Amino acid sequence: MIRENLEAVEKNIQEACQRAGRDRKDVTLIAVSKTKPLSDLMEAYEAGARVFGENKVQELVEKMPQMPDDVHWHMIGHLQKNKVKYIVGKVDLIHSVDNTGLLEEINKRAEKAGVKQDILIEVNIADEDTKYGVRADEAEEFYVNAMSFPYVNVRGLMCIAPNVENPELNRQYFVKLKKIYVDIMNRIGHNSRVDVMSMGMTGDYQVAIEEGATMVRVGTGIFGARNYNSE
């Protein structure tokens, strides 16, 4: 089933790119494998998935050594400062940076590890109490400040849009994130190292691609529904 799901998602991505006049190569699909067993990840791997996203540090570091070496890992979930040391230098990208303390810790651990860590700034794009992320109207200042940390590469922005039935309702938020992104680009000067807009999940990734997403994070659409009660 996972192979068929992945093929369907791939087709949807291609069609969304076509509608938007975009190149398929400019959109990275992140297979969000949280809560799923290794056998499911391997099935996705064998069907071609190479980029996996997890939202818990412990689960991420457990799965990482058990998957083939050419897998790229992304930390997409809320990150606590005390867990930073376990993932810096090991994940390609941390999507969820939204406070200065976390930035300082990532910078410190990256210096120690002798790496520059790629990160995104998470924006609470619909200003929801239940979500993490910097406020939309503070995102640009936060972003520019984050660029001053020498062992951190700020690559772009991430958002989690509201959970809605009709994905069209989220188009406004993807447009809003894109505007913040363009404002930042205009301020800092267009820079080939700033190239990521991580937005769109199972319910709304096609709309997100139409509005400029360069990374979509798809879990349920590939692996099926998650069961949080099994443990």
Ligand X SMILES: *Cc1c(COP(=O)(O)O)cnc(C)c1O
The token pair at 194 is: 């700033």
Closer to ligand X by Cβ: residue 52 or 151 = 52
The yes or no reply on residue 35 touching ligand X (CB under 6 A) is no
For helices 139-146 and 171-188, angle between their N-to-C axes, nearest 10 degrees: 50
Q: Who's near 196: CB < 8 A, 6+ residues apart?
A: 93, 120, 155, 156, 157, 158, 214, 215
The yes or no reply on residue 212 touching ligand X (CB under 6 A) is no
The yes or no reply on residue 218 touching ligand X (CB under 6 A) is yes
The yes or no reply on residue 133 touching ligand X (CB under 6 A) is no
The yes or no reply on residue 125 touching ligand X (CB under 6 A) is no
* Residue 65 CB, nearest approach to ligand X (Å): 22
Backbone phi, psi, residue 59, to 5°: -65, -40
3-state DSSP assignment of residue 33: coil
Distance in angstroms (rounded) separating the CA atoms of residues 34 and 10:
20
Select from 133, 156, 167, 219 the one that contacts ligand X (CB under 6 A): 219
Only segment of 56-64, 106-114, 131-139, 198-206 that touches ligand X (CB under 6 A): 198-206
The yes or no reply on residue 77 touching ligand X (CB under 6 A) is yes
Select from 33, 55, 117, 170 the one that contacts ligand X (CB under 6 A): 55
Beta bridge partners of 157: 121, 197
Which chain residues interact with ligand X by CB under 6 A?
Answer: 32, 34, 55, 76-77, 160, 201-203, 217-221
